[in-house]
Amino acid sequence: MGYQVNGVHWPQLHVHQQTAQLRCLMTALCDKHCPPSDWVFTADRVNRIMVEFALNFLPVQPHHVITPVDDEPLSGVKFAGRIVGVSIVRAGEAMETALRSCCRNVRLGKILVQRDERTAEPRYYMAKLPTDVATRHVLLMDPMLATGGSALMAMGKLLEAGVKESNIIFVNVVASPEGIRNLLSKHPAIQVCTASIAEGLNSQKYIRRSLGDFGDRYFGTLPADQENPKPS
C-alpha cells in the first residue's frame, strides 16, 4: 500500500488507478479551452470517483444479513462508525454533491481558509463543524493540494475540535509533491486519496501544468480575460 513520490514512500498516500476514463477526465479538466459547462460536468464526475475511492479506506466491521432467497445468514461488512464531510471553502464545496450522492443524510462542516496571493500563505477565517465531529470519521475535501498550507490549517482546526488524526481522510483531485510532503510529514496518521500527482509548483506556488483555480472554474468566477478562452 502507499505511493512513492520523489523517492519517498508514503504508506498513507493512495493514488487512484490511472484508468483510461480517469485520464480522459483529468485531461479535460486541464484544458483551458474546455467550455465551462463541460468543465463543471467533468469535475463532478471526477469528484464522485474520488469520494467513492476514499470511502474504501473507512473501517468496516462484520455484518450479517438475511437474503430474499433463504433464511441462511450472509456474512458481509458494514461501515464502522459515522462519517462527516468537511470542505475547505470554497473549492472543497464542489465535492459536497459527490459525497451526498454516495452517503445519504451525511453531515457537512466547513472550514474557511484563503490563500494570501501576495505571500502564498493561508489565512484562517472560520470553521463550522458538527458538535459531535470528534466522534466521527472525517472526509476532509479540497480538490487542490499545492503548498499544503490550507490543508495543514484545516487539519489543525479538526484536531482542536477533538478529531483523531487517524480518523481523517483527505480527499483530493490534484496534489503536488511539495504539498504531500508538508501534509504527511506533519500528520502521518491521516490518509490521503488523490486522483493525480502533479509535477510540482511554479515560482508563484501554483501547481504546474494543471487545471488552474478549481473554485473559480467550478463556480464561474474566473477573471473576465480568462472566461470562455478560445484556441489561438
Q: Which residues does the annotation mark as catalytic?
A: 115, 119, 213, 216
Contact, 188 vs 13, CB < 8 A?
no
Q: Cα–Cα distance between 10 and 153 in angstroms, integer?
A: 21
CA atoms within 13 A on the CB side of 164: 7
| CA nearest neighbour of 141 among 182, 196, 105, 90 | 90
Q: Cα–Cα distance between 174 and 26 in angstroms, integer?
A: 9
| CA nearest neighbour of 197 among 144, 140, 149 | 144
* 3-class DSSP state of 29: helix
Q: What is residue 118's DSSP assignment?
A: T
| CA nearest neighbour of 15 among 208, 199, 221, 197 | 197
CA angle 100, 47, 223 (to 5 degrees): 110
Q: What is residue 224's DSSP assignment?
A: G
| Residue given cell 498513507 in the structure block | 12
| Residue given cell 437474503 in the structure block | 67
